Structure 1
Amino acid sequence: MQSHEPVLSVDLTAIQANFSVVQSLVGPAVGVSAVVKSDAYGLGLERVIAPLWDAGCTSFFVASLKEAISVRRHLTQADIAILEGLLKGSMKVYRERRLTPVCNTLAEVVAATSEAIPYALNLETGFGRLGLRFEELRSLIHLRRQAPDLVMSHLACADDAANAHNRVQKNRFTGMCAMLAPSTPRSLVASAGVFLGADYHFERVRIGSALYGLNNAGLTPNPFKPVVRLTARLLDIRQIHRGERVGYMGAFLADRPTRLGIVAIGYRHGLAWQVANRAFAQLAGWSVPIIGRVSMEYCAIDLTDMPAKLARVGAWVDFISATAPAEDMARSAATVPQEILIRTGASCARRYRQAPTGRHP
């Protein structure tokens, strides 16, 4: 039975390749962790982790304890760190399932060490979010508590290599880490930060966006393989006259006789409402404008300039592809590509191109 549900296709082999790209960039002395938080950026946590393990990834960062338990269910030997911090009522779960909370406050560190729970320590170096500040770290040193398994922070401006705040944060991080045991592994950068240079890599990098083909640093050419393709069915083709309007509030006014396509994708499926009259889809190799307001279940595309014989009801229309990456849609929607992946991944049918399988301990 033919379905009108949009499809987000995920290339698991490309995710493996992108992990290997980062490994080659940082070299064998630097560990590479996979950030699979928020259901692997909407692409399906349980489908993504096994191919990453097969590619050589043994360390994973997740958003929540629930996600950590899901990873542990499939990967019994992986190192799993939980970004949400320490949940005091879950000490037994951390211990029995060998899960590592990322402690974001001094109180969390005290609670973890009181129960002899291994932990990672997050430092606030200028992001303005979570983590211990300098004075809190100094207090921790005086408490003489169990040392963390990893000390980490996060760059606010890594997407902009020329931004001076990157070096400010790196210097703060280096200085704060010097207060800890010199053998404590350090991690500062995520995907874009890898390209700031080896002095930012420390002992571990944490890669999320890059795994999923996103080019946060805006590199040309993109060193990462495309991972996702978002497609939807062309439901109807109709002709409208010059002067007719399309969609809610008549947001598009035809200035010529126009061949209109109606596509089964809307903002319910993660197609941003803001892309109306700003973005393009692809059909049979032709770029076609998205016109009129995006509605809940449908959008309209202008087929006038492409050969009529190529536009057929039931055809698949591409909204994200190798030649139209998520970054393009994000710019049209005034957002970031990570949001595009999460929204479409949560709302569309997901299909997977399988990676070669291995043994998953």
Structure 2
Amino acid sequence: MQSYKPVFSVDLRAIQANFTVVRSLLSPAVAVSAVVKSDAYGLGLERVVGPLWEAGCRSFFVASMEEAIRLRRRLARADIAILEGLRNGSLEAYRERRLTPVCSTPAEVAAATLAAIPYVLNLETGFGRLGLRFDELRSLLHTNPRVPELVMSHLACADDTGNSRNRLQKDRFVGMCALLAPSTPRSLAASAGVFLGADYHFDRVRTGSALYGLNNTGLEPSPFKPVVRLSARLIDIRHVQRGEAVGYMGTFLADRPTVLGIVAIGYRHGLAWQVANRLSAEFAGRSVPVIGRVSMEYCAIDLTDIPARLARIGAFVDFISATAPPENLARAAATVAQEILIRTGGACARRYRFAPSGQHP
């Protein structure tokens, strides 16, 4: 039986290539960690980490203890840092599985110190989210805490290379790190931060979105290979006359006799409701508008300009492809490409190109 579930295809070799691109943009002295949180941005953690290991990645950041355990089962020797810190899971679990919490409060650092658990120290330099403030760090150091394995912070505006907040955060980071042992490794930049220059790279870069083909800084041409394709089947072809409405609330009125294609993808599958009448998909090598509101299971496309011999029920319509990147869908949905990957990757049938060689240490 043919499945009508949309297909989210992942090119694992392209992920390897993107890791190599990031590596090539840095000094050999700068290490690269892969951020595989949120199920590797919706691409599937277990399937992504093996190819990354084969490409030379040895350090990974995950969101939670649950993700860390999944990753440890896949890679026995990898360095694994947990961004949620010491909030979930027993201290013994971190020790037994050799997991490193990212500590964002003085209490977490104290707990890691008392339990003799290696940890990453997270500093708040202007993102306004998690991490120790300057006054908290200064007070903490009077308690003689365990020296962290890594000290990190996160840039709020790295996507905008000209934003003055980037330098402000970097200067704050340097100033706070000056309170720590000089030999403590430092990490400030994620994917977009790579392009801010060598003085943002420090000792380690944490790359996530770049691995998955996202071009956060809008470089033309993108240095990263496309990784994902989102496709759904054409399940019906219908005809409407000039003046007829399409979809909920009739937000599209046909201004000519129109051939409608009904496609088996909707907001249940991560195709945002907001893209109605704002997005074009690809069919038979041509651009086709998405018309009318997206419903839970289906959407409609305008096939009027497609030759009838090509418009066949069961054919695939592409919403993300090598020529229609996730950023296009994100702009139409008034969101970011990372959200598009997570929502569609988690809701659609995932398919993978290039299987890794097998077991990994």
TM-score, normalization by structure 2 = 0.99
CA contact (8 A) 2:50 2:356 kept: no
Aligned equivalents of 1:337 and 1:282: distance in 2? 18
Partner of 1:218: 218
Aligned equivalents of 1:28 and 1:327: distance in 2? 31
Partner of 1:152: 152
Partner of 2:230: 230
Q: Deviations over 1:189-214 (max 9, x none)?
A: 10000000000000000000000000
CA contact (8 A) 2:32 2:57 kept: yes
Aligned equivalents of 1:273 and 1:318: distance in 2? 17
What one-letter code is carried by the residue in structure 1 that aligns with 2:328? D
The within-5 A match list for 1:70-149 is 70-87=70-87, 90-149=90-149
The within-5 A match list for 1:278-357 is 278-357=278-357
Q: Cα distance, 1:356 vs. partner?
A: 4.3
Aligned equivalents of 1:95 and 1:28: distance in 2? 30
Aligned equivalents of 1:97 and 1:186: distance in 2? 24
Closer, same or farther in 2 for the Cα pair 1:88/1:301, shift >3 Å? closer
CA contact (8 A) 1:260 1:300 kept: yes
Aligned equivalents of 1:357 and 1:38: distance in 2? 24
The within-5 A match list for 1:261-280 is 261-280=261-280
Q: Deviations over 1:88-126 (max 9, x none)?
A: 751000000000000010010001100001000000000
Aligned equivalents of 1:199 and 1:355: distance in 2? 37
What one-letter code is carried by the residue in structure 2 that aligns with 1:268? R
Q: Cα distance, 1:359 vs. partner?
A: 4.7
Aligned equivalents of 1:182 and 1:235: distance in 2? 63
Q: Deviations over 1:20-60 (max 9, x none)?
A: 00000012110000000000000000000000000000000
Aligned equivalents of 1:33 and 1:102: distance in 2? 14
Q: Cα distance, 1:306 vs. partner?
A: 1.8
CA contact (8 A) 1:54 1:359 kept: no
Percent of pairs with identical residues = 78
Q: Cα distance, 1:308 vs. partner?
A: 1.7
Q: Cα distance, 1:309 vs. partner?
A: 1.3
Aligned equivalents of 1:88 and 1:233: distance in 2? 41
Q: Secondary structure at the match of 1:249?
A: helix
Partner of 1:175: 175
Q: Cα distance, 1:87 vs. partner?
A: 2.8
Q: Deviations over 1:218-248 (max 9, x none)?
A: 1000000000000000001111100100000
What one-letter code is carried by the residue in structure 1 that aligns with 2:227? V
Partner of 2:194: 194
CA contact (8 A) 1:64 1:84 kept: yes
- Unaligned residue ranges in structure 2 (runs of 5+): none
Aligned equivalents of 2:178 and 2:355: distance in 1? 42
Q: Cα distance, 1:358 vs. partner?
A: 5.5
Aligned equivalents of 2:339 and 2:72: distance in 1? 26
Partner of 1:241: 241
The within-5 A match list for 1:21-32 is 21-32=21-32
Q: Cα distance, 1:314 vs. partner?
A: 0.6
CA contact (8 A) 2:65 2:89 kept: no
- Unaligned residue ranges in structure 1 (runs of 5+): none
Q: Secondary structure at the match of 1:171?
A: helix
TM-score, normalization by structure 1 = 0.99
Aligned equivalents of 1:87 and 1:119: distance in 2? 13
Q: Secondary structure at the match of 1:308?
A: coil
Q: Deviations over 1:131-164 (max 9, x none)?
A: 0000000011111111000000000000000000
CA contact (8 A) 1:54 1:358 kept: no
CA contact (8 A) 2:280 2:287 kept: yes
RMSD: 0.8
What one-letter code is carried by the residue in structure 2 that aligns with 1:284? A
